[in-house]
Amino acid sequence: MRIKIIAVGTKMPSWVATGFTEYVKRMPPELPVQLIEIPMAKRGKNPDIERAIKAEGNKVLEQIKANDFVIALEVGGAHLSTEKLAQKLASWQQDGRDICILIGGPDGNAEACLKRADYKLSLSELTLPHPLVRIVLAEQFYRAWSILANHPYHRA
């Protein structure tokens, strides 16, 4: 099983890559994490936001296989504690399908992506900048794995 993080946005600051990579490299070989970046659609002076979101969504959907379990990050998604995320991760691992986690662009996930999602997750009620979301997501999945593996990283 793999975790694929499909994120709209490229050219992140170096601190994002550093933070994200730090947690990804800690993941065990049986649970590798892959980042797939989707370029943001052009937004000019009078942008057609609906069209931009749809274009980004189409590119995201191209990265998802028919059997993948899809999690869309969404403001109205489920709020989980880290321990509950660990329980979900254990269940998803038993299911055996690859997991695709969708991070939408500045205007959110496309409707088609939300319809394709098997699960909707909210990381926080706070509005987090998209670069930081990548790091938080990687850290939380590492922490969830550490709980399942009885690794001392998680100290609640």
Domain boundaries, the chain: 3-155
The pLDDT of residue 43:
81
What is the per-residue pLDDT for 156?
Answer: 62
Q: Binding site residues for S-adenosyl-L-methionine, as ranges?
A: 73, 104, 123-128
Residues of the chain under the 70 pLDDT cut: 156
Is the pTM higher than 0.75? The answer reads yes
CATH code: domain 3-155 is: 3.40.1280.10
Buried (b) or exposed (e) across 114-134, using 16+ Cβ within 10 A? bebbeebbebeeeeeebbebb
Q: In what order do the strands lie in the sheet with 69-79?
A: 33-38, 3-8, 99-103, 69-79, 119-122
Residue 106's pLDDT is: 87
- Which helix (H) or strand (E) element contains residue 33? strand 33-38
Q: Report pLDDT for 145.
A: 96
Residues tagged in the binding site annotation: 73, 104, 123-128
